[in-house]
A = this chain, B = another copy of it.
Amino acid sequence: MSQTAESSIGSLNPLDELNGLRLSQKALPLLEHVKAFIAQTVEPAYAEYLEAGKDHKDRWSFAPGQLEALQKAKDKAKEEGLWNFFLPDADTGEGLSNLDYAYIAVELGKNPLASEAMNCSAPDTGNMEVLERVGTPEQKQQWLEPLLAGEIRSAYAMTEPDVASSDARNIHTSAVRDGDDWVINGEKYYISGAGDPRCKILIAMVQTDPDAAGSGKHSQILIPTDTPGYEVLGPMEVFGHDHAPRGHMHIKFTDVRVPYSNVLLGEGRGFEISQVRLGPGRIHHCMRTIGKAEVALDLMVKRGMSRMAFGQPLAKLGGNLEKISRARIEIEAMRLMVLKAAKAMDVLGNKEARVWVSMVKAMVPEKACQIIDQAMQIHGATGVSQWSPLSGLYTDVRHLRYADGPDEVHHMVVGRHELSQH
Note all chain B residues with C-beta closer than 8 A to A96: none
Q: Produce 1/0 per residue, A379-422, CB < 8 A to B.
A: 01111111100011011001101110011101111111111111
Q: Are B294 and A10 neighbours in the complex by a CB distance under 8 Å?
A: yes
Answer whether residue A352 sits at the interface, using C-beta atoms and an 8 A cutoff: yes
Cβ-defined contact, A403 with B381, below 8 A: yes
State in angstroms the CA–CA spacing of A199 and B135 once bound together: 61
A340 close to chain B: CB less than 8 A: yes
**A189: which B residues are within 8 A, CB to CB?**
381, 385
Given the interface pairs A21-B20, A164-B309, A240-B239, the reply to whether A298 lies near B362 with Cβ below 8 Å is: no
Measured in the bound complex, the distance between the Cα atoms of B337 and A274 in whole Å is: 32
Known A328-B418, A329-B362; judge A239-B237 contact (CB<8 A): no
Question: CB distance B325 to A103 under 8 Å?
Answer: no
Q: Which residue from chain B places its CB closest to the CB of A170 in the assembled complex?
A: B309
Query: For chain A, what secondary structure do more than half of its interface residues adopt (helix, strand, loop), or is it mixed?
Result: helix
Whether a CB of chain B sits under 8 angstroms from the CB of A80 is no
Q: How far is the CA of A57 from the CA of B96 in the complex (A)?
A: 49
* Inter-subunit contact B28/A395 (CB<8 Å): no
* Contact of B324 with A415 in the complex, beta carbons under 8 Å: yes
Once the chains are docked, how many angstroms separate the CA of A355 from the CA of B4?
Answer: 13
Q: Are A309 and B167 in contact (CB under 8 A)?
A: yes
CB of A31, distance to nearest CB on chain B (Å): 6
Confirm or deny: A59 has a beta carbon within 8 angstroms of a beta carbon on chain B. Answer: no
Which partner residue on chain B sits nearest A333 by CB separation?
A: B333
Q: Which chain B positions have C-beta within 8 A of A412?
A: 318, 321-322, 325
Q: A384 to chain B: which residues have CB within 8 Å?
A: 237-239, 395, 398-399
Q: Answer yes or no: A334 CB below 8 A from chain B CBs.
A: yes
Q: Pick the 3 closest A-B CB pairs, nearest first.
A: A319-B319, A240-B240, A14-B23
30 intermolecular pairs with C-beta atoms under 8 Å apart = A7-B421, A8-B356, A10-B294, A12-B103, A14-B23, A15-B25, A17-B22, A18-B344, A18-B347, A20-B20, A21-B21, A159-B381, A164-B308, A164-B309, A167-B309, A189-B381, A238-B391, A240-B386, A301-B418, A319-B408, A321-B416, A322-B411, A322-B412, A322-B415, A325-B413, A328-B414, A328-B418, A333-B363, A381-B399, A384-B399
